[in-house]
Structure 1
């Protein structure tokens, strides 16, 4: 698609992030997957653009200050998606399920789908995984190597999605007047980053049009030709980055030196001219040479 055919970008970062959540393909694609696009009203794009042009009229959930942690920020955006875009009734957020003095877990969202009049239990996560092949064994690691795509998916399906089937979960729901078991919905958009060289097999559960990028060790970053890169800081890991100013050339090697010095990875976006300013066209994680032996990517 040519730049002239691209939709006009949103100027408010929070609207850009919310729009990405509405459309993002997911890292778990199954019967329980929740696709907001299937439920969004026909005028949702106009609503987003109105909010973008009139920040004084933003819903309270889209107004600063925002949570510093990315996960909490995403939860706030998701609550806005459910409540202010879909018009559904939010019954509970982060509802703790307790058995005596012990906390068994919590429900991310309990919501009334006003289109079906059915209560739904939504579990959400936005994840970023890097593929690594060790002697023919492919693993997809998160920004902390203790987090893996297979482990996260298993926990979503086998633990978090099952909380409402437990006696403690049912008792908690009954206290809210919910008798019938809620329908479970899972929402896990994100990105998979392939090695700089080669293409690893993607798990069957992942949507074919999932968000994608590349990763490389510091030692391999010098093989990339000079291009326009910018560092992406949270929460701007959500959705494509845009900016009016021309990015500098040569930033990649500066970042690579810092990554090796600090032992912490960095996420970058490659930029190209767009309809207005510069637009992200590719993502790259630069990781320490010791990764995945090092514990964390940041």
Structure 2
């Protein structure tokens, strides 16, 4: 069984596309920002279920390309901005990267606006000045594993088994996007909202059988694989890297000193899973000049990794 074999046309390899477009980007924050702007959203804008509630960023044009290249040459503005907004959670990191972009593009009216009365009612992730007026955007960056043969949104579960894609999409569409309709929210809005939309980015991880994605999911979403630790012995590849949480966004680019062999990887995972059952995200790497670049990513889970049936309980 070849884990890192070429993909079929219906499952394009995003890593190859990213490396072809952004070979000159090396700084981790700049690469993460490029991924955020360049990658597909998770959900399918053509599907009737979402009722025109999905936001999309504009295509990366030459102006944005030049801006990212300038940040690669001088990353201080981005590094300084992130330092002003300390983050340890991946979602907050991605949100601050997006705020940095909106500030540069001139669209940002406000970010992370808490709506309070006698209690906290909710929060506007972004208030944006768009061509069609003031818009409220909710943002999420999520990573889900498809864990059951039947492809439905509730079968895409988070690596910590705390939520699923169906629950998350319902929460955003049915609860968070209606915040602007609340009477107590009006004083926080500089103008009437023209729209409320959800921007969902991330990666979805599939069994090695190359499962078809669901119609509600964007056809060109970023895909990875997942397997149990004993299955790793069947797969090709002998150069890997462990991806820490804040490096989950863009495809990995590492120095040789940051890589490990198959035997080193297996020893690390076995030791890790003795005390911590959380899945570990790894990248398979190949040489590229002075760097090693990602060709595939995979969540590895313990053999005893058990799904809580309540996570899958909500039907789509």
Deviation of 1:119 after TM superposition, in Å, equals 0.7
Give CA deviations for 1:104-159 in whole Å, capped at 9, x if unaligned: 2211111212xx16111111111100011168877110122121011101111111
Match of 1:111 in 2: 128
User: 1:289 is matched with which residue: 303, 309, 315?
Assistant: 303
Give CA deviations for 1:176-225 in whole Å, capped at 9, x if unaligned: 432x22421211111111113x2444232211111111111123222223
Could you tell me how far apart the structure 1 residues matched to 2:307 and 2:300 are? 15
| TM-score, with length taken from structure 1 | 0.85
Q: Note if contact 1:272-1:281 (Cα within 8 Å) is conserved in structure 2.
A: yes
User: 1:261 is matched with which residue: 263, 271, 274?
Assistant: 274
Q: Note if contact 1:126-1:190 (Cα within 8 Å) is conserved in structure 2.
A: yes
Cα distance, 1:125–1:135 mapped onto 2, change above 3 Å: closer
User: 1:189 is matched with which residue: 192, 201, 209?
Assistant: 201
Are 2:71 and 1:35 aligned?
no
Q: Aligned Cα RMSD in Å?
A: 2.7
Cα distance, 1:91–1:255 mapped onto 2, change above 3 Å: same
More displaced stretch, 199-208 vs 186-195: 199-208
| TM-score, with length taken from structure 2 | 0.80
Give CA deviations for 1:34-69 in whole Å, capped at 9, x if unaligned: 22234x553111111112112345474245774122
Are 2:123 and 1:102 aligned?
no
* Structure 2: runs of 5+ lacking an equivalent: 1-15, 46-51, 310-316
Q: Note if contact 1:165-1:181 (Cα within 8 Å) is conserved in structure 2.
A: no
SS at match of 1:144: coil
Aligned residue pairs: how many? 284
User: 2:100 is matched with which residue: 80, 89, 110?
Assistant: 80
* Structure 1: runs of 5+ lacking an equivalent: none
SS at match of 2:58: helix
Could you tell me how far apart the structure 2 residues matched to 1:221 and 1:111 are? 45
Could you tell me how far apart the structure 1 residues matched to 2:149 and 2:20 are? 43
Are 2:138 and 1:127 aligned?
no
Are 2:27 and 1:15 aligned?
no
Deviation of 1:23 after TM superposition, in Å, equals 0.8
User: 1:71 is matched with which residue: 85, 91, 95?
Assistant: 91
Are 2:253 and 1:242 aligned?
yes
Structure 1 or 2: more helix by fraction: 2
SS at match of 1:271: strand
Higher RCO structure, 1 or 2 (CA under 8 Å, sep 6+): 2
Cα distance, 1:259–1:202 mapped onto 2, change above 3 Å: farther
